[in-house]
Structure 1
Amino acid sequence: MLLMKKSNANFPKTVEGQVFHVGIKRGEMGDLSRAKLLSRWLDADTPIFQRESRRGFLTITGKYKGVPVSIVGIGMGLSMMDFFVREARAVVDGSMIIIRFGTCGTIGKATAGDVVIPEGSFVVTKNYDYPIFENKEIAVQDYEIKTKEQPYNISKVIYGDKEIRGLIQKQLLNSGIPQNQIFQGLNATCDSFYSSQGRLDKNFVDHNKELFKSICTKYPDAESLEMETFMLFYLAKCSTDAPYRFQRKANNEQRNSIRAAATAVVISNRKTNEFVDPDRLDDLVKIVGEAVLKVLLEIELDEVHFEDDECVWNSKI
């Protein structure tokens, strides 16, 4: 059992200074195998830190062409993204760029094997107040007429960073991905892999047969379906300038400390049920993953240099 510091219950840490769920500390800043695959491009002549937390987060930190970066496998879902962004923010000082790279399904113009760069994201959540009736069809129709409630809630759009999105597209084109296989549009982040992504399951009453129609009616340019991007974009918009405590702007201007974008390889076309070939997927993960790393080289961040021993970059290897 690890003992916890009592100084800050909002962000509990171990005695080694690691945040509780992600398991990283200052400076150590999906799919775990994908994170390991992308780490092959990190510089071999500098230290590489790797830590897998008790809650399944894998963090690999090193340098890419001399620039400190972290590749983090967070698993799936809104809560995992919330854990990651908040706890990483708690142990990183200065500005941050976070790019979500993963896989997705599509209900738009893209198809399996294409790449999506979402302009913005909205969240699709189950309406847990929506009743489950014994006489389902008649009762549900009557309920919707009376209350005008729907079984799923679809939020407003939160937009990602436009500059980073453009750099991702540029690097994808430079890496050989054809223009006609790169799609923008909107992302639907869903609170379930099953019900709120329109998967039909006879074992449960999900009321999701018309879900894709509802999504596309509200957002005709909806392109991708997955489970993380909205939370990333939302938290980036909510981020404060608190981490700039070492270097406030002269005019004390308030600003977000996190800039966020996303890109994903389409593994399935949910309209046609086509799936990407596994070998093609492996190739795309390598190509798109390296393109994302190159994007990180193109944007300057406000640097904060630590003199204390708490930062792993100051530790003796």
Structure 2
Amino acid sequence: MSIHIGAKPGDIAKTILLPGDPLRAKFIAETFLENPVQFNEVRGMLGFTGTYKGVPVSVMGTGMGIPSISIYVHELIHDYGVKNLMRVGSAGALIPEVVIRDVVLASSASTTNGFNKNRFRGLDYAPTADFTLLSKAYESAKELGLDAKVGNVLSSDIFYDETNAQGLFANAGTLCVEMEAAGLYTAAAMARVRALAILTISDSLVTGEATTSEERQKTFTDMMKIALETAVKVNDLD
């Protein structure tokens, strides 16, 4: 066991899906995985391992924000040997070209968080998706008939942004805002493993439209299908 994950060695697959909401992890396991077995309930952060098309796949919640996901990702990589980490979460559209229920593949993640400033001694680091996962996910989306958008996203520390910092990133064409991808990408890069954020637009900062919490938990299935098909494609990678 690690500090925050109660699994035993071998309980977690080398490929894992990471929703922020632990109930979304439960939904994914029960809806898409064959014979899912729960491996974690520490702090209510539910985790499960099953198979998808014969391929072992795990899914676990991460909570909200870069500090939370960074803890879980570190332990998944260093204590359990996970090699492919795919965030499946919601995001808010920042530009008119991105609308409710669009799927976004985050090729990179800007951030308002200062964690990389500390890690890289004040220098800038560009958190970037693994190209293999990104290309396989885009391929999977096309095969599923889905028009996934690809581009830069913003990982923000501020959910209720009264400073309009998000507007600065929107002016630079940033597709959407979420809270975890930059932390995921940096942790994976430091460990030389693969990571990708696959996001569904749950609300729009342009139009004010929004979905319900139940919709976010149970109906954002396109990104889950893309992630699972990608898991099959990368199963033979070390």
Please give the range of the TM-score, normalised by the shorter of the 2 chains. 0.7 to 0.9
Q: Which residue of 2 aligns with 1:59?
A: 47
Q: Which residue of 1 aligns with 2:237?
A: 301
Q: Which residue of 2 aligns with 1:261?
A: 196
Q: Hey, what's the Cα distance between the residues in 1 that align with 2:125 and 2:98?
A: 22
Shift of residue 25, structure 1, vs aligned partner: 2.7
Q: Which residue of 2 aligns with 1:125?
A: 113
Q: Hey, what's the Cα distance between the residues in 2 that align with 1:280 and 1:22?
A: 27
Q: Hey, what's the Cα distance between the residues in 1 that align with 2:189 and 2:4?
A: 23
Q: Which residue of 1 aligns with 2:184?
A: 232
Q: Could you tell me which of 155, 168, 172 is aligned with 1:214? A: 168
Q: Which residue of 2 aligns with 1:306?
A: none
Q: Which residue of 2 aligns with 1:84?
A: 72
Q: Hey, what's the Cα distance between the residues in 1 that align with 2:50 and 2:183?
A: 26
Q: Hey, what's the Cα distance between the residues in 1 that align with 2:132 and 2:173?
A: 20
Q: Hey, what's the Cα distance between the residues in 2 that align with 1:38 and 1:233?
A: 22
Q: Could you tell me which of 88, 99, 105 is aligned with 2:92? A: 105
Q: Is the 8 A contact 1:117 1:262 kept in 2?
A: yes
Q: Secondary structure at the match of 2:153?
A: strand
Q: Hey, what's the Cα distance between the residues in 1 that align with 2:48 and 2:216?
A: 22
Q: Which residue of 2 aligns with 1:149?
A: none
Q: Secondary structure at the match of 1:184?
A: strand
The two structures have a TM-score, normalised by structure 2, of: 0.83
Alignment of 1:1-317 (within 5 A): 18-29=1-12, 30-39=20-29, 40-44=31-35, 48-93=36-81, 96-108=83-95, 109-125=97-113, 156-177=125-146, 179=147, 182-194=148-160, 198=161, 200=162, 208-209=163-164, 211-217=165-171, 220-239=172-191, 256=192, 258-276=193-211, 284-299=219-234, 300-302=236-238
Q: Is the 8 A contact 1:117 1:183 kept in 2?
A: yes
The two structures have a TM-score, normalised by structure 1, of: 0.63
Identity %: 25
Q: Secondary structure at the match of 1:88?
A: helix
* Amino acid of the structure 2 residue aligned with 1:293: L
Q: Is the 8 A contact 1:113 1:280 kept in 2?
A: no
User: Which segment is superposed worse, 281-290 or 262-271?
Assistant: 281-290
Q: Secondary structure at the match of 1:232?
A: helix
Q: Deviations over 1:132-182 (max 9, x none)?
A: xxxxxxxxxxxxxxxxxxxxx9x65321112211221222232232x2xx2
Q: Secondary structure at the match of 1:119?
A: strand
Q: Hey, what's the Cα distance between the residues in 2 that align with 1:223 and 1:49?
A: 36
Q: Secondary structure at the match of 1:28?
A: coil
* Amino acid of the structure 2 residue aligned with 1:103: S
Change (3 A) 1:82 1:125: closer
Shift of residue 282, structure 1, vs aligned partner: 6.4
Flag the structure with larger Rg: 1
RMSD of aligned residue pairs (Cα, Å):
2.4
Q: Is the 8 A contact 2:27 2:217 kept in 1?
A: no
Q: Hey, what's the Cα distance between the residues in 1 that align with 2:139 and 2:219?
A: 16
Q: Is the 8 A contact 2:100 2:209 kept in 1?
A: yes
Q: Is the 8 A contact 1:122 1:156 kept in 2?
A: no
Q: Is the 8 A contact 1:49 1:62 kept in 2?
A: yes
Q: Deviations over 1:58-83 (max 9, x none)?
A: 11012222222111111111111111
5+ long unaligned stretches in structure 2? 13-19, 115-121
